[in-house]
Structure 1
Amino acid sequence: MGLFRRNASKLGADEARGSAPEEAAAPTAGSEDGGAPERPERGPFDSSQVTGMGPRVDLGAIWLPVLPGLELRMEVDKKTQKVTGVSATLGGSGLQVQAFAAPRTEGIWDEVRAEIGTSITRQGGTVDDVPGVFGRELIARIPATAPDGKAAVRPARFIGVDGPRWFLRGVLSGRAAVDAEAAKPLESVFANVVVVRDGNPRPPRDLLTLTLPKSARQGDAPADQAGATAAGPEGAAPQTPSFDPLSRGPEITEIR
């Protein structure tokens, strides 16, 4: 999409408490030297801010919280076969999560948000940049095609948090994109994500490495062990927006 250009300043991350809060608050600022912020009250969190994995599933760069009934799907690049993101669906709502490298002293969400807005507008959609649970977010209405071939609009909420040398981006879809109450469980999942940033130097916006859960690699059903169910929510799983400025052409693959 040609959206990998500059970086903007903003730093935030939060601390895990072992169980997901009902609501998440805006993250607090971290240290100016790019190190881990002081222990804030809520997340997403850096791995340096937690004492253990807690009720989460290990996906490499992301430790993802799980809830009863939550269905997890890994996104795999067709060309490289690398895991590029994870999607969680619950009760007709979806949350896509990806983690990226960021500069030591500044974040990237401000510019990424502007670039997403520009891209959606060029497609004929509309975007509102508004304050939200995690700070500034985008409420988007993206042009789509209905099953009957007619023009339609797909709603989506883009949320993001800048952490110490990482950026975590989420996309809420389905009911969670338009209904505040429906969004709360998945907002809680996002708020309790732990990002595990390796010590390797990476260019800004480089996708942090994700892996399948260990039990999935061994051929077991990780959802049962993680607390999520293998069966999906009632009805079809909501789709994330077809355009994705920070994605690398993933396909959705269900973990069983």
Structure 2
Amino acid sequence: MFGRRRKNRSDNSVDATTDEFERIGASSPDDDFDDVASAEGGPYDIDEMDEDEVGGSRLDLGSVLVPIPQGGQIQVEMAPNGNPQAVHLVTQHGRITVAAYAAPKSPGQWREVAAELAETLRNDNATVSMETGPWGRELHGSTPNADMRFIGVDGYRWMIRCVAAGPAGAAAANGPLIAAAHAVLADTVVRRGKEPHPVRTPLPVVLPQTLADQLAAAQQQQQQASRQAAGPQQGQARPQQSGVPAAGQQAPPARPQPRPRTGGSGSAMQQLGF
């Protein structure tokens, strides 16, 4: 699998950002690691897998297929145009978000993205450190109220980014949230597709039909509840209906979040909703 292949250390596009990492990193990662070296497992490229290997144990989001952590729930974030923009896996310890981006054929994009994210985190008054994880460099950012870790992996024409975010202290390297994030990323499958995309463009998120139907039903219930809440002011009081999703669904969607969110650029804190 590409996730286990190692980079060519003579690639100028990779080495060009080494000084930047030394400048921003509070703790330097081990140079023997790189951002495509993997622990056992993925992330995998779907083109390198047999159909029966993909299986039905992952949530198919179009560009990525992700496992759902034990006890996890799904939170769908909507773009202003009404399309799904991101899907978050919500656990008791924090939130895990996996997204895929278009990238060049040669690896090295994650280094550049991580350096830029570190800069924006610092601009948001976060404490930033660069640490070493199973795939190489991981970016850890913390504020008094929030903690986050960015984990990136370069693939063939794609880059995958996993963000684990929670309250202060949640994104420590040895914590349960990061253990869950590593497990999710190691079992993630990327479906890049053949379509051309500009470098760093987020690959499309496509909801499964069942999840899309649940989201539409939840939105309809919210709209109906809003109308009913306005009823007493108009002399038309009606009992409000519960927004509980249909029974039997393992990971029901939470209410959509319409806040703006940038793809591979912009304020890191804005991307996480802080």
TM tier, smaller: 0.5 to 0.7
Paired residue type of 2:174: A
Task: State the partner residue of 1:134.
Answer: 135
Separation (CA, whole Å) in 2 of partners of 1:131 and 1:246: 21
1:155 Cα offset (Å):
1.2
Match of 1:75 among 74, 77, 99: 77
Q: Which runs of 5+ in 1 are unaligned?
A: 1-11, 15-26, 143-151, 233-241
Match of 2:154 among 162, 173, 178: 162
Task: State the partner residue of 1:177.
Answer: 171
**RMSD in angstroms over aligned alpha carbons?**
3.5
Contact 1:223 1:229 in 2 (8 A): no
Return the index of the structure with the highest Cα Rg: 2
Cα 1:73/1:106, change in 2 over 3 Å:
same
Task: State the partner residue of 2:118.
Answer: 117
Separation (CA, whole Å) in 1 of partners of 2:136 and 2:94: 21
Contact 1:87 1:94 in 2 (8 A): yes
Separation (CA, whole Å) in 2 of partners of 1:81 and 1:250: 18
**Bigger mean CA deviation after superposition, 49-58 or 154-163:** 49-58
Structure with the larger helix share = 2
Separation (CA, whole Å) in 1 of partners of 2:46 and 2:131: 29
Aligned length: 204
Cα 1:178/1:72, change in 2 over 3 Å:
same
Contact 1:68 1:229 in 2 (8 A): no
Specify the SS of the correspondent of 1:119: helix
Specify the SS of the correspondent of 1:164: coil
Paired residue type of 1:68: Q
Specify the SS of the correspondent of 1:180: coil
Is residue 2:67 matched to residue 1:60? no
Is residue 2:74 matched to residue 1:97? no
Contact 1:97 1:169 in 2 (8 A): yes
Cα 1:203/1:43, change in 2 over 3 Å:
same
When normalised by structure 2's length, the TM-score is 0.64
**Bigger mean CA deviation after superposition, 216-225 or 155-164:** 216-225
Contact 1:30 1:164 in 2 (8 A): no
Q: Percent identity?
A: 29
1:41 Cα offset (Å):
4.3
Paired residue type of 1:100: Y
Separation (CA, whole Å) in 1 of partners of 2:135 and 2:165: 16
Separation (CA, whole Å) in 2 of partners of 1:108 and 1:201: 17
Paired residue type of 1:230: P
Specify the SS of the correspondent of 1:177: coil
Structure with the larger strand share = 1
**Bigger mean CA deviation after superposition, 97-106 or 178-187:** 178-187
Cα 1:231/1:203, change in 2 over 3 Å:
closer
When normalised by structure 1's length, the TM-score is 0.68
Separation (CA, whole Å) in 2 of partners of 1:223 and 1:130: 42
Task: State the partner residue of 2:6.
Answer: 29
Q: Which runs of 5+ in 2 are unaligned?
A: 10-35, 218-244, 255-259
Separation (CA, whole Å) in 2 of partners of 1:69 and 1:222: 17
Separation (CA, whole Å) in 2 of partners of 1:65 and 1:106: 25
1:75 Cα offset (Å):
1.9
**Bigger mean CA deviation after superposition, 165-174 or 214-223:** 214-223
